Amino acid sequence: MAFFNRNWLYIAGTLLLAGLIWYFSEIVAYVLLAWVISLLGRPLMEFFTSRIRIGKYKMGNAGAALLTIAVFFAAFVGLLLIFVPTLVHQANNFATMDYAALGEKLKGPFTYIDQQAHQFGILAPGESLADRTQSSLIEWFKPSMVSDLVGAVFSSAGGFIVAMSSITFILFFFLEEKGMFGEIMHAIVPNEYEPKVLEAMDESSVALTGYFKGLVTQLASFSLMASVFLWILGVPYALLIGVAGGLLNIVPYVGPIIGLVFGWFITLSSGLQTMELHDLGVLMLKVAGAFLLTQSIDNLFLSTIIFSK
């Protein structure tokens, strides 16, 4: 009987804990995200506390935590400065594009494709792929697109600021007190499971910290290589495309494909009105070649060396 009573208590406690996690899901998400970022910032913390000195005194944990958070914010602002102005500019290019002239430009190259599409019933009689592309672009990239995008960003800015402030506040204490997340788990986990859970957490923290260090190193290496190759080949916005490719390369399988599609999108938006289609096609082949070369070097050499460390 005591056995069943204890099981019912465990079930009730588990349901209560699940309910609390669901009710406070935003706070739980902030805590977990701050813990993950603290693992990423642990190498920076160790570097600042061991290498930075003021006279005879080493930097304390609080100062190192603040400096680590400042580095994260600097990286975040740097990415915004790389991406946002260029993306807004490209979106404005699409929004103000003369799609009638573009449709006429596309009719020639699409003649053979139109014949095949009509043969297989993909296009209706009298319809051309150029016309369909023109109408799709007009529907996607309306003249009000940029203003709508800016309005959406400002409408969600309040929630974003609250989330960033909460995560930063929690992150500071996770960085300053290395075992704080373990103490939180210590208060939640039953006593009989505590040693195993804390041991698993310690091993996971070490493994995740090493993994994040390797991931950041791979991201930086991929972005640098891709940007240099694109710049050598004369592709516009090489830095933007290279950094985007490095960030998306983290995503397994589909990330490199999405990075290539993003590079093609930026190339198209910057040259669709001003360049001939043949030259634009060559430029897109250069983007694909740069990504293929970078991906090959990353898969064959960089990833193996970085993650083996």
Which range has the top average pLDDT, 124-138, 170-184, 220-234? 220-234
State the pLDDT at residue 122: 63
State the pLDDT at residue 62: 82
State the pLDDT at residue 36: 80
* Mean pLDDT of all residues in 182-209: 68
Q: In 3D, which of 216, 223, 183 has the Cα closest to residue 44? A: 216
State the pLDDT at residue 20: 64
Question: Which of the four pLDDT bands, split at 50, 70 and 90, describes residue 188?
Answer: low
* Residue pair 145/94 in contact by the 8 Å Cβ criterion: yes
Residues 72-98 pLDDT 10s: 899 888 888 877 777 777 666 666 665
Which range has the top average pLDDT, 15-24, 138-147, 158-167? 158-167
* Residue pair 198/206 in contact by the 8 Å Cβ criterion: no
* More confident: 158 or 29: 29
State the pLDDT at residue 30: 82
Query: What is the crossing angle of helices 180-188 and 194-232, to 10°?
Result: 140
Q: Does the pLDDT at position 43 exceed 70?
A: yes
Q: Does the pLDDT at position 208 exceed 90?
A: no
Dihedral, CA atoms, 244, 245, 247, 250, nearest 10 degrees? 160
State the pLDDT at residue 128: 64
* Mean pLDDT of all residues in 164-176: 85
* Residue pair 306/217 in contact by the 8 Å Cβ criterion: yes
Q: Does the pLDDT at position 33 exceed 80?
A: yes
At which residue do the structure tokens 């698993």 appear? 200
* Mean pLDDT of all residues in 169-191: 72
State the pLDDT at residue 103: 56
Dihedral, CA atoms, 69, 70, 71, 77, nearest 10 degrees? 110
Question: Which of the four pLDDT bands, split at 50, 70 and 90, describes residue 3?
Answer: very low
State the pLDDT at residue 172: 86
CA 131 to CA 113: how far, in whole Å?
13
* Residue pair 282/222 in contact by the 8 Å Cβ criterion: no
* Mean pLDDT of all residues in 223-230: 92
Q: In 3D, which of 55, 135, 137 has the Cα closest to residue 95? A: 137
State the pLDDT at residue 2: 47
Q: In 3D, which of 220, 279, 241 has the Cα closest to residue 75? A: 220
Burial (0-12, 13-18, 19+ Cβ within 10 Å), 115: exposed
* Residue pair 283/275 in contact by the 8 Å Cβ criterion: yes
pLDDT above 90 covers a percentage of the chain that reads 6
Residues 268-297 pLDDT 10s: 777 666 667 677 778 889 999 999 999 999
State the pLDDT at residue 213: 81
Which range has the top average pLDDT, 59-68, 145-154, 221-230? 221-230
Indicate whether this model's pTM tops 0.75: no
* Mean pLDDT of all residues in 245-267: 85
State the pLDDT at residue 25: 74
